[in-house]
Amino acid sequence: MKRNVAAAILAAVAGVLLLIVGINGVAGVDRIFALLQDWFGTNEALRLLAYVLGGIAALGGVAVLFGAYFVATERVRTGKILITLGSGAGILTLLFFLARNLASEQFSYLTAVLPAVLGVALAIAARFVAKAKPIL
């Protein structure tokens, strides 16, 4: 229980930071569904799922805050999904973002988006800290 409360606090801080900066996870959802569309072709069910998940991801920090609530109330799997969709990034995405900014020597830009980087990093940490109960 303490572990999930700590994860919920991390996710709440991440959600607030993402709200301040205005980062959302729509780009990640768009890339995933573009790949799925290449594999499976145009499918109405796939398109509907893309709209639903894209809508959740567009909420950004709000989705992460809802994820924090679900983690705190022991609905960890739902919370992790919302945190993932709201932050729209994983470790690799965050590392690529930082590497691209460092390679282009946009250090002032990096300091301008530091709250977003910190928010995404905290969201990733919250997903790792949260522990779901076994299903069976």
Helix (H) and strand (E) counts for the chain? 8, 0
Give the range among 25-29, 47-51, 57-61, 92-96 with minimum mean pLDDT.
Answer: 25-29
Q: Is residue 132 part of a domain?
A: no
Helix (H) or strand (E) holding 35: helix 26-40
Q: Is residue 136 part of a domain?
A: no
Cβ contacts of residue 6 below 8 Å, gap of 6+? 129
**Over the chain, what is the mean pLDDT?**
79
Give the structural domain span for 82: 2-127
Q: Mean of the pLDDT values across residues 87-108?
A: 69
Q: Is residue 42 part of a domain?
A: yes
Q: Is residue 134 part of a domain?
A: no
Give residue 42's pLDDT band: very low, low, confident or very high (50, 70, 90): confident
Give residue 67's pLDDT band: very low, low, confident or very high (50, 70, 90): very high
Q: Is pLDDT at 102 greater than 90 in this prediction?
A: no
Q: Is residue 123 part of a domain?
A: yes
Q: Is residue 135 part of a domain?
A: no
b/e code 49-81 from CB counts within 10 Å (16+ = b):
ebeebbebbbbbbbbbbbbbbbbbeebbeebbb
Instruction: Give me the percent of the chain exceeding a pLDDT of 90.
Output: 18
Q: Is residue 120 part of a domain?
A: yes
Give residue 71's pLDDT band: very low, low, confident or very high (50, 70, 90): very high
- The count of structural domains within the chain is 1
pTM of the predicted model, to two decimals? Answer: 0.73
